[in-house]
């Protein structure tokens, strides 16, 4: 199989890389973190102008009809500079939910607005008690004219900045039942919606969201009533594939920084890169990066596989492989840098933290290893 990017994909990567080179460096990133939004609205507008916000959506909805591979390439470029903007929750997660389950009217109302940069989404499924169990949903939606939602969601990526929130709620069945989970589009400013925003360990923003007697109409149901779990799984698989690409970009940046540091840091009268043990570590870091890249490609190729079991298997393999690679490269980069690698003023520690957050997003490697073991047990 040919893994080389097409000419169009090369142009996409070049355009994104050029834009980020002009707008993102470590110093400017810190200034964006200090803004009220926790990211740069000006950069967000540039994403829209470049067409990145509509990349995976059909042309009829203002998009470019891109595939999971294009999204992975963009996320890889984002990972190299630790982009803070809410691309992941808006385009990859929320946008995927609407793209997969939305009616024609819902897509027409939402996707073009995302592509233009005027609408931000959040995907709110995780609950405090659930850990990584997608069926553990205690937020409820009961009939009351339309629907009335009650419950809470936790660690919602950029939940405070979202204009609309894709919320999962139980409309039937018991806790842990696969049937009876429904997705709703909730206006973030609706009565009864409360959001507590905070800065995550990786410098991105998140929020805990509570819903108290939140009224939504039948027109706000995303997909079939009670049939939300398959969509949730597909959205999370898309998220895993995208963050795998982001991790590869972060590993590339850490490897480059560490190699340069090893060439210039002098200890005992010579650069530390001249010592064989450091050379071996740098070689191992590069190998881990390339192994992670292969697993990210596997995840991306699996997204459109119609076989649910095969797709879930490949995604689990990729989650484990990329997570382990990201951890090894991150820890090694900090170790080679020594004390400076642990400081807030130096970039490598920020990459380390982002990779550790991604490693646990939607389930850590141990969780997916257990799933893979269950397949053969």
**Residues 345, 324: one domain?**
yes
User: Once rounded to an integer, what is the mean pLDDT over residues 82-102?
Assistant: 98
State the Cα–Cα distance between residues 105 and 221, nearest whole angstrom: 12
pLDDT band at 2 (very low <50, low <70, confident <90, very high): low
**Residues 76, 127: one domain?**
no
pLDDT band at 359 (very low <50, low <70, confident <90, very high): very high
pLDDT of residue 377: 67
**Residues 354, 284: one domain?**
yes
User: Once rounded to an integer, what is the mean pLDDT over residues 227-254?
Assistant: 98
State the Cα–Cα distance between residues 269 and 118, nearest whole angstrom: 56
Q: 306 by DSSP, 3-state: which?
A: coil
Last residue of a domain, one of 226, 261, 294: 226
**Residues 47, 131: one domain?**
no
Residue range 36-67, pLDDT digits in tens = 999 999 999 999 999 999 999 999 999 999 99
Residue range 152-201, pLDDT digits in tens = 999 999 999 999 999 999 999 999 999 999 999 999 999 999 999 999 99
Q: 135 by DSSP, 3-state: which?
A: coil
DSSP letter assigned to residue 192: T
User: Does the pLDDT value for residue 1 go beyond 80?
Assistant: no
Sign of CA dihedral 12, 57, 252, 38: positive
| Burial class of residue 211, CB neighbours in 10 A (0-12, 13-18, 19+) | buried
Domain hosting 301: range is 230-375
User: Once rounded to an integer, what is the mean pLDDT over residues 336-344?
Assistant: 91
Beta carbons of 23 and 46 less than 8 angstroms apart: yes
240 found inside a domain = yes
pLDDT above 70 coverage of the chain, percent:
99
252 found inside a domain = yes
Average pLDDT, the chain: 95
Strand 164-170 versus strand 121-124 pairing type: parallel
State the Cα–Cα distance between residues 328 and 292, nearest whole angstrom: 10
State the Cα–Cα distance between residues 38 and 86, nearest whole angstrom: 10
User: Does the pLDDT value for residue 81 go beyond 90?
Assistant: yes
**Residues 255, 363: one domain?**
yes
Q: What is the CATH number of the domain that holds 61?
A: 1.10.540.10
């Amino acid at each position: 199989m040919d893994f080389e990017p097409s000419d169009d994909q090369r142009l996409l990567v070049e355009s994104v890389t050029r834009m980020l080179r002009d707008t993102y460096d470590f110093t400017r990133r810190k200034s964006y973190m200090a803004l009220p939004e926790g990211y740069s609205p000006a950069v967000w507008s540039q994403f829209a102008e470049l067409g990145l916000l509509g990349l995976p959506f059909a042309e009829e909805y203002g998009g470019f009809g891109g595939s999971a591979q294009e999204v992975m390439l963009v996320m890889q470029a984002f990972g190299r500079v630790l982009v803070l903007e809410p691309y992941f929750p808006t385009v990859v997660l929320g946008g995927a939910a609407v793209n997969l389950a939305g009616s024609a009217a819902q897509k027409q109302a939402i996707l073009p607005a995302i592509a233009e940069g005027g609408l931000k989404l959040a995907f709110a499924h995780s609950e405090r008690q659930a850990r990584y169990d997608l069926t553990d949903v205690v937020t409820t939606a009961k009939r009351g004219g339309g629907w009335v939602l009650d419950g809470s969601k936790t660690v919602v990526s950029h939940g405070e900045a979202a204009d609309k929130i894709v919320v999962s709620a139980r409309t039937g069945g018991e806790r842990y039942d696969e049937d009876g989970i429904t997705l709703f589009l909730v206006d973030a400013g609706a009565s009864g919606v409360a959001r507590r925003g905070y800065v995550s360990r990786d410098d991105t923003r998140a929020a805990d969201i509570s819903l108290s007697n939140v009224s939504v109409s039948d027109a706000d149901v995303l997909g079939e009533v009670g049939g939300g779990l398959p969509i949730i799984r597909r959205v999370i698989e898309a998220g895993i594939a995208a963050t795998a690409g982001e991790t590869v970009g972060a590993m590339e940046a850490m490897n480059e920084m560490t190699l340069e540091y090893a060439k210039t840091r002098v200890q005992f009268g010579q650069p530390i890169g001249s010592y064989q043990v450091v050379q071996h570590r740098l070689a191992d870091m590069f190998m881990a990066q390339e192994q992670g890249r292969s697993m990210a490609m596997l995840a991306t190729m699996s997204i459109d596989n119609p076989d649910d079991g095969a797709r879930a298997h490949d995604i689990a393999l990729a989650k484990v492989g990329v997570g382990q690679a990201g951890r090894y490269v991150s820890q090694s980069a900090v170790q080679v840098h020594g004390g400076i690698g642990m400081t807030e003023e130096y970039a490598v520690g920020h990459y380390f933290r982002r990779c550790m957050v991604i490693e646990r997003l939607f389930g850590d490697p141990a969780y997916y290893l257990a799933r893979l073991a269950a397949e053969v047990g």
